[in-house]
Structure 1
Amino acid sequence: MDYRDWEILKELYNQKNLTKTARLLFITQPALTSRLKHMEEELGVKIVTRERRGVHFTPQGEYLVQSAEEALAHYQKIKENAQNMSNSESNKVVGTLRLGVSNFFANYELPHILKLFKRQYPHVEFKVITGWSRDVTQLIHSKDVHISFVRGDYGWRGLSKHQLFEETICVASKDEFEIMDLPRLPRIEYRGDYLLKSVIDHWWAENYAQAPFISIEVDQVDTCREMVINGLGYGILSSRVLSGIEDLSKVQLTDQEGKPILRRTWMYYHKESLEWNVVKAFVHFIENHDWTCSSAKIK
């Protein structure tokens, strides 16, 4: 089994059709059929069976397709690392940078950051994986990415980190409100990051004896914000989400000592990855970026 074999299995599984797969891989159908037969003989298993509407993968074939995904991803990672190491030896800032990025950061901050960085280093390419901050933290720990951008104070043991900015958490409403009246007021709830939800739930438990009145539940913070703007209820949102919106009544969440509850955004990376010029250049760029100007863009 070689790299081309894994590509064939992956594409055939997606297409379920020999003719279409051969065309997409720029080979003839007889050559594709011959290669499949060779794989089956080499492994001693039946990979696919032909049916009237295409091909069907056997259980062994299904397993090989899953292995193909892993093998191709591993090969790509090795290729990128080798290229980055080669470029480091020549002091060139060239290569592929793999980033793990929290959903909010990916939507509001990352596009502008990559545009500015690309102006300075036009030969750098990016592979970006987005998700909840907890999942993105795992990506950097497992070295599936070179750099992670994480909102919240997740575990960073063994990693280098740099704080980008911090923000308060606010109760926001279209209408004026008293903070003690929140349990009786309609709340727009959204499925946020686990750590943020824990912070908000802890604050609520310290201040109220009854559960909040959840009138609407949504999946995205942007949807929650728009519903708050349209007067459908109050939301508990980080201040960066509310930046640029002036006609809302806002009250910051504070702890028992009256200090604002803060949410921080971090850049995580492995110190040894700075040996690669592309990682070192990006880390240096982020450390010197003006995040105050960046936040002003959010509307």
Structure 2
Amino acid sequence: MDQKDWQILNAIAEEKSLTKAAEKLFITQPALSYRLKQLEESFQTKLFFRTKKGIEFTSEGEFLVDYAKDRIKEYLTLKDEIFNIGNEVRGTLRIGVSSNFAQYKLPALLKKFSTSYPNIQFKVQTGWSTEIMNLLNQSQIHLGILRGDYDWEGEKLLLTKEQLYIISKNEISLEELPQLPFIYYKTDNSLKRLISRWWNDHFSQSPLTAMEVDRQETSKEMVKNDLGFSVVPEICLTPSDDLYTEGLTYKNGEPVLRDTWLMYRTDFIQLNIVKAFIDFLIKQQTVKI
């Protein structure tokens, strides 16, 4: 087995599909299937089988997947330690970032950081904050930027607090909302809970959900076409949207705020590249991120 085999086994375990694993690894499915067959012949045992839900591993296959994951971690740790020799900031920074922050804030931050430290590369994984939390727990990333509150055994640094806003094409009043079409979008549970808490604080009936869309940006486009109202974090609002916006508050006048956190394991702070990025983000707090 070599590094490519580790990656193949790990990708199949994550995707539960040979097709999706091949796409993720940028190889053809026949090439991936051939390599799996070679592994089975090498170990003289069956490693996986197909079900209605996708690919599942045999007991022997699961053992080999765990072995592959351990080897990947060891290899990444080895690279980190080699690049950490000396005082130069170099190597690959592995970051997991919530989708909204990645879309609206991260590109400019990475550009600015890489200008100061040109001998670095980035491996960025984006998704819902729950997905980034999983990457942190598995030590697949050095740092995670998450939105919402999560229990974490490592270090946490509060980056920003932002308010949630009602958005609509034209001006509307709070009292009208239960009778107006609400455009719902898929998001992580922490934001769902925040919106639900605010709604239940003001209204006894459920919102009149007119649409369920996949992304916040899709909901914004629906709102721009006067098809209803939505509730979004401040981070995704721009003057060019040309929308009516109103910051949400609870009945007691307290604004409805969402936190953005930087999280990382304490042992990663010894890496020059991680320490440099944390120090960089702390300095950015003097300018609203």
- TM-score band by shorter chain is 0.7 to 0.9
2:105 is equivalent to residue 106 of structure 1: no
**In the alignment, residue 223 of structure 1 is paired with which amino acid?**
T
C-alpha distance in 2 between matches for 1:123 and 1:218: 41
Displacement of 1:246 in angstroms is 6.2
C-alpha distance in 2 between matches for 1:76 and 1:289: 33
Residues 124-163 of structure 1: pairs in structure 2 closer than 5 A: 124-156=120-152, 158-163=153-158
RMSD of aligned alpha carbons: 3.3
Q: Residue 288 of structure 1: SS of its match in structure 2?
A: helix
Verify the 8 A CA contact 1:98 1:145 in the aligned structure 2: yes
Verify the 8 A CA contact 1:84 1:278 in the aligned structure 2: no
| Per-residue Cα deviation, 1:35-91 (whole angstroms, up to 9, x for no partner) | x39x636x343679xxxxxxxx9976x964x66665444333322222222333312
Q: 2:115 aligns with which of 119, 140, 143?
A: 119
2:270 is equivalent to residue 240 of structure 1: no
Partner of 2:93: 97
Give identity over the alignment, percent.
Answer: 32
C-alpha distance in 2 between matches for 1:18 and 1:262: 49
Displacement of 1:21 in angstroms is 6.0
Greater shift, 70-79 or 277-286, is seen at 70-79
Q: Residue 161 of structure 1: SS of its match in structure 2?
A: strand
Q: Residue 145 of structure 1: SS of its match in structure 2?
A: coil
C-alpha distance in 1 between matches for 2:56 and 2:215: 39
Q: Residue 236 of structure 2: SS of its match in structure 1?
A: coil
Verify the 8 A CA contact 1:183 1:211 in the aligned structure 2: yes
Partner of 2:260: 265
Q: Are residues 137 and 90 of structure 1, via their aligned partners in 2, closer, same or farther at CA, if it must alter by over 3 Å?
A: same
Displacement of 1:293 in angstroms is 6.2
Q: 2:181 aligns with which of 173, 183, 186?
A: 186
Partner of 2:2: 3
Displacement of 1:143 in angstroms is 2.0
Displacement of 1:213 in angstroms is 0.8
Partner of 1:172: 167
2:21 is equivalent to residue 45 of structure 1: no
- Runs of 5+ consecutive residues of structure 1 not aligned to the other structure: 23-31, 49-56, 295-299
Q: 1:216 aligns with which of 183, 204, 211?
A: 211
Q: Residue 89 of structure 1: SS of its match in structure 2?
A: coil
C-alpha distance in 1 between matches for 2:77 and 2:92: 8
C-alpha distance in 1 between matches for 2:3 and 2:245: 58
Verify the 8 A CA contact 1:6 1:71 in the aligned structure 2: no
Q: Are residues 19 and 172 of structure 1, via their aligned partners in 2, closer, same or farther at CA, if it must alter by over 3 Å?
A: closer
Q: Residue 90 of structure 1: SS of its match in structure 2?
A: coil
C-alpha distance in 1 between matches for 2:237 and 2:56: 52
User: TM-score w.r.t. structure 1 length?
Assistant: 0.77
User: TM-score w.r.t. structure 2 length?
Assistant: 0.80
C-alpha distance in 1 between matches for 2:277 and 2:88: 13
- Runs of 5+ consecutive residues of structure 2 not aligned to the other structure: 12-17, 23-27, 49-54
C-alpha distance in 1 between matches for 2:273 and 2:209: 46
Q: 2:224 aligns with which of 220, 225, 229?
A: 229
Q: Residue 187 of structure 2: SS of its match in structure 1?
A: coil
C-alpha distance in 2 between matches for 1:292 and 1:21: 53
Displacement of 1:102 in angstroms is 0.8
Partner of 2:74: 78
Partner of 2:52: none
C-alpha distance in 2 between matches for 1:172 and 1:19: 47
Q: Residue 257 of structure 1: SS of its match in structure 2?
A: coil
Q: Residue 170 of structure 1: SS of its match in structure 2?
A: strand
Partner of 2:14: none
